[in-house]
Each structure stands twice: as C-alpha cells, then as structure tokens.
Amino acid sequence: MKPKTVLLVEFPAAVGEFFPFSSLHCLWELRWGPWRLVEWWQRLFPEAQLAVAVGSEREAWRRSFLARFPEHDVREPRFPVLLLNAQLLPRRENLTWMEEQTRSMAGASWVAFAGEVLAAAWIAEGAPVQVSIRTGIWDAELTAFCRTLPSRDYGFPLICSLWELVARLPDAFLQAEQLLPLGTDAEEWRRHGIWIQAPERVWIAPTAELAPGVVLDAREGPIIIEEGAIVQPQVVLFGPCSVGKHSLLRAHATIGRFTAIGEHCRIGGEIAHSVVHAYANKQHEGFVGHSYLGEWVNLGAGTTTSNLKNTYGSVRLRLPSGERETGLQFLGTLCGDHTKTAIGTRLRTGAVLGVSANILTGGMDARLVPSFSWGDAAHPQPYQLDKALEVARRVMARRNRCLLPEEEALFRIEYERTWGITA
C-alpha cells in the first residue's frame, strides 16, 4: 500500500473530549509516545505528502496548524489518497488491516467505519473529490462520496479522549520500537561514566549529550533520546520513555516508564507515565504522574499531581461539557497550553486545567480550572486577555519563538468560549 497523499481528517463531534489540548490544537497534533500523531503517519509513509482537513467550524485551528507546520499545506492532492480519521492510532495492526483491504480490492476505492464513524478510506485515481480534498474542509461532497464506496467494518477502536491516550501510552512505545534502529555501545558509554542496561533497546541521537553519572535502564522497554537533547549528571531514565529534540533533563531527575517528553522541554524532579508537549517547563522537584501537559506549560517548584485516589477507585473528571467517568484507576492532570502553577502547588486526582490559567492557590480543591483563570483554582477570577497575550509573547520570545496571528486568534476564541466576553 503506497498512497501518494495521506489525508488526516478531524471530525468535530469528538473534539470536546480532548479538552484542554483541543482548545489550541487539532487532534492530529496529539502526542502519543515519542511523536505527534501527524509525525507518526509521516514516518510510516515517508514518500507520501501529508495533508489535513477539518470541519468548517474548525478552520481557524487548521490555519494555526499550517502556520506552524507549513509543509502540510497541500494544495494539490496526488492519488491514490489514504484518508485517515485523526483519532486513529498508528498501530502496526491497523496498517496491516488497511493493506489487506487495499489488496483485496485490487487497488479500488474502499471505506471503513468504526461504528458510525469513518475510520479510514482508500481513494483511488480518478475519484471525483479532488476539489474537496484541495480545500482542506471536510464537506458534504466528501461524506456523500465515502458513503458510495464498498464498506468494511473497521476492527480497531478510535481514540476517544485525552485520558484514553494517557492510558494507552504503553502501546505507543511498543509501536515506536519497530520504527527505530535501536542499539548502542554500552561499553563505550561506560568509559564516559554512563551506565546502560539493555543497550539493544536504546537509541541515542549522535548530537545528544549525556553527562557522567547518567543511568539508562531499558530492560522494560526502549529509551529514545533525540537530537540535541541534554541529560545532566545523576539522571535516571526507566524505559520505555522518550526525550525530544533539544530538551534538557536537570540533574537528579527521574524519568519513569511510559513518559514522552517533547521538544525543547526542561524537566526536573520525578515524572512517570505522562506526556509533556514542546517547550514545557517542569524544572524542579515534584511529582507528575499519569498526566498530559500541553505546550508552554510552566510548573512551579514543588508542584505535585495526585494520580491515585485514596479509595483506589475509578477517577472521575470534569470537562466544560460535563462529568466523565474515565474507568481509570490512575489519572493525574490534564493541562492546557501556557498554564502556570505557583511553587508548592498540589493538584488533585483527575484535575483538568484549561489554557493560560495561573494557579496560585487551591489546587487540591479544583476539579476543573477554566481557561484564563487567575488566583485561587477553586474560585478563579478571569485573567485579562491582553495580559495573557503579553505574557505568552514574552515567554515565547525567550525561546526565539513568536506568537503567530493564527495562534492569537485561537486564544481569543477560547477566551470568549470560557468567559462569554468578546475580545
């Protein structure tokens, strides 16, 4: 199966279950293990151009994504096209299933549904949908066309929530292990004072820097350290885990199993079974477990998440759209982009923190902290939008980044949704 275009489609019905990440991002930007979903698919189909599409109500989010990742602004689709629901996980079993469908159809078009939701489709050369694909908007024409194709029942579930993505992190590293040329010379590293267990399951980029005293234990799964990452003395990493490009692990940090750290992060203390998106800071002591942190998050020294109830029961959480029963025994914090916590902050099990919130006190009392909140997490006040934008620009400038107009537009949309104030 060799598509010339891979088209990732975000369907609007699911977006709310991925709050707070979906407030400023499209679903294909979700990080699952070492990479964002869009990056997984590009790795799996390196010769294909990768395009994206959304419902018309999410066009502002697509524009923001393309402003940051212009290489995916595909104006002319090349056929055949492999159309994928953005909630589809890039698992080997999924690919094998799609390859079998394409082979059984002799390359003709087909569509697969997960229940009532489109999961994947193969659109062969000559299909009458070029214009719809070119616009990047999922419209009635594409829906009608897919309904005419030979249909298959898709045997694998789609990812349906942010907390489900956290729970399925172990599988991400199993899949990643199949895509990288793992293996490193443990004896050579030992000469530099670095101890590696199970070196056959370790991948260290040539430009990564590891200081003497670092320990890598990959007996339980792969350890991936990408280009330009810096690991300071006395850091211990337990696989499976990954460290993104140009990220810094502070001295004495402990990186637990099933932890995925994005690019340009600064990490200290203890973190386990969590996703940390790009440019996030958790530089000091404190524990983060079974959590999902967005971009540009800054956790003050001593910030600690609870990831297990005293009753050992299932974690319930609160989204803007209502209560959710997760069915998970372990779940920490779901944290939106640009949110900050004060020193010594404690966050309750299953806490949900919106975008650009400033939590100074009351973390243990708050189940849902709205976006652009200020002060006491349990009784927040609105954070002035102009101040939030000013701080975001200042923070990003320190990392040689700027807040793009398309990103600012999403700030304004989220502010109005949260506080009912047009900004």
Q: Which residues pair with 224 in a beta bridge?
A: 203, 242
Whole-number Å distance between alpha carbons of 229 and 232: 10
Amino acid, single-letter form, for residue 3: P
**Alpha carbons 279 and 262: distance in angstroms, whole number:** 7
Q: What is the DSSP code (8-state) at residue 423?
A: -
- What is the secondary structure of 183-242 as a DSSP string? ---HHHHHTTT-EEESGGGEEE-TT-EE-TT-EEE-TTS-EEE-TT-EE-TT-EEESSEE
pTM of the model: 0.95
> How far is residue 122's CA from residue 116's CA, in Å, rounded to a whole number?
17
The token duo for 340 is 């900050």
Residue 293 contacts residue 274 (beta carbons within 8 Å):
yes
Query: Which domains are assigned to the chain?
Result: 5-160 (3.90.550), 176-419 (2.160.10.10)
> Can the peptide bond before residue 240 be classed as cis, meaning omega within 30 degrees of 0?
yes
The Cα–Cα gap between 199 and 205 comes to 14
Question: 3-class SS at 397?
Answer: helix
Q: What is the pLDDT along the chain (423 residues), one digit of tens a residue?
A: 899 999 999 998 899 999 999 999 999 999 999 999 999 999 999 999 999 999 999 999 999 999 999 999 998 889 999 999 999 999 999 999 999 989 988 889 999 988 888 999 999 988 776 656 667 888 777 888 888 888 887 777 799 999 999 999 999 999 999 999 999 999 999 999 999 999 999 999 999 999 999 999 999 999 999 999 999 999 999 999 999 999 999 999 999 999 999 999 999 999 999 999 999 999 999 999 999 999 999 999 999 999 999 999 999 999 999 999 999 999 999 999 999 999 999 999 999 999 999 999 877 778 999 999 998 888 889 999 999 999 999 999 999 999 999 999 999 999 999 998 765
